[in-house]
Amino acid sequence: MTRNEILEAASQIFSQKGYHATSMQDIASAVNLQKASLYHHISSKQEILLALLDAALDLVISKVENVAGQSLPADRKLRLAMRTYLQALTDQRDLASVLLFEHRSLKPEFQTRHLPRRDRFERLWRDMIQMGLDQGIFACEDVAMAARALLGIMGWMVTWYRPGGALSAAEISDQYADLLLNGLLIREGGDEL
């Protein structure tokens, strides 16, 4: 039994039952270990949660950083980053669910360890939006609020998205990007932006 196998099982259980409803016995049973043996690999449920949050953020940070580093206009970069992020969330649904909904379950000492990674991820989105402002492509009053709104819209998708549904993650991403970049308003003359 490896630590990664334990974390993968815990991710599935946390996603299905929630952090608080999951016991260490649930995790041990899922990987065919005695509860006492589980503690040879992991010291606490909080450690498991933090490890999952770190893994999830490392994954999405790496993917979004690859996009952010490309030489593209800000609107194209943001659109591609959205598609990349949503694809990661749908490819890793259990881990995404833990990332988006269970971070509040961290105790303060673990929260302190988690926040720098979370802030780094949010900073990637702020920087792309700021780049659009600097290029004269975007207009917004508060870059941080725009980034949080964007992340909130995308994150909520994990609650309703189903593989094999009417739209793929890429199609949903494109619609989200159109909504964000073009808005809902019809412009003068009935034209959209």
- Domains of the chain (ranges, CATH numbers): 45-190 (1.10.357.10)
Quick one: pLDDT at residue 126?
97
41 φ/ψ angles, rounded to the nearest 5 degrees: -100, -35
Q: What is the pLDDT of residue 176?
A: 94
Q: Which amino acid would we find at residue 115?
A: L
pLDDT of residue 2: 87
> 33 is written with which tokens?
């270990």
Q: What is the mean pLDDT of residues 7-32?
A: 95
Question: Is residue 185 scored above 90 in pLDDT?
Answer: no
Residue 128, classed as helix, strand or coil, is: helix
- Report the mean per-residue pLDDT for the chain: 93
